[in-house]
Structure 1
Amino acid sequence: MAGAIGVETHVLRHWEDVGVLIPQRSPSGQRVYNHEAVTRGRIIRRCQRAGLSLADIRSLAPAGSADRTAIIDERRAAVECTIARLQRAADYLGHLTQCRHPLADDCPQCSDFARSPRD
């Protein structure tokens, strides 16, 4: 199971402890992960890569959860802010490769970037 979703075994145990992925149990008490559990594990990893905490992921599980949309919208807004900040940084770095001013203060674009809100 762990290999199928690209995590270590201890991660599965942690997910079980926090309640985001509860495996079925065999009569002897061993954990049993079916296809649905593998799919859910992959979704959990995608959500984590998107920056959601395990607490957020746990609250997303019930499709009718009132907080579901708010949590997703909040995370999406944060991702969009990060993208915008990184795009400004990439634009500035691209400009620096072409800038011919000896001092940043002499360059209007460098000065504009320096005056922009701190990222």
Structure 2
Amino acid sequence: MSIGELAGRFGLATHVLRHWESVGLLVPDRAPGGQRRYGVEELRRVAMIQIGKEAGLGLGDLRDLLAAVNDLGDRRSLLRHHHARLVERIARAQAAKRLIEEVLECPLPFDECPRARATIEARIPQD
């Protein structure tokens, strides 16, 4: 299939697929005229890239992960590192959610709500 057909199947712009190719995530076959041609493997690869991006992996991480597809040690190392970063981001997001929930319940201006004030004070660098 053509780049336009592949992009359309996933609701992507063609420039996204070209960018993924430029960073080594996609390696399409070429027709005699030089046009990119995509098959079943590229369909799977685009789906895997989208899943990885949804999981918070960057394109460099995805490239490394896909390159290590047959190396269990490297794959696990990459995923453990990403897992640790994801756990940290989730903790920050949960703290932000709690703060928002508390401020929503507080009748005072934002910066006068006890939890918000404590968060603001904690953010100020010490001398």
Structure 2: state its 5+ residue gaps. Answer: 1-5
Of stretches 76-85 and 63-72 in structure 1, the one that deviates more from structure 2 is 63-72
Distance 2:116 2:98 in 1: 11
1:85 matched to 2:92? The reply is: yes
Q: Residue 29 and residue 56 in structure 1: after superposition, are their counterparts in 2 closer, same or farther (change >3 A)?
A: same
**Residues 65-108 of structure 1, C-alpha deviation per residue, up to 9 Å, x if partnerless?**
33221221222222221111111121122122333678848x4x
- Structure 1 position 22, deviation (Å): 0.4
Which of 41, 66, 70 is residue 64 of structure 1 equivalent to?
70
Q: TM-score, normalised by structure 1?
A: 0.75
Task: Give the root-mean-square deviation of aligned CA atoms.
Answer: 2.7
Which residue does the alignment assign to 1:18? 23
Q: Percent identity?
A: 35
- Structure 1 position 12, deviation (Å): 1.3
Distance 2:121 2:59 in 1: 37
Of stretches 1-10 and 96-105 in structure 1, the one that deviates more from structure 2 is 96-105
Count residues in correspondence: 116
Structure 1: state its 5+ residue gaps. Answer: none
Q: Residue 26 and residue 95 in structure 1: after superposition, are their counterparts in 2 closer, same or farther (change >3 A)?
A: same
Distance 1:54 1:97 in 2: 37
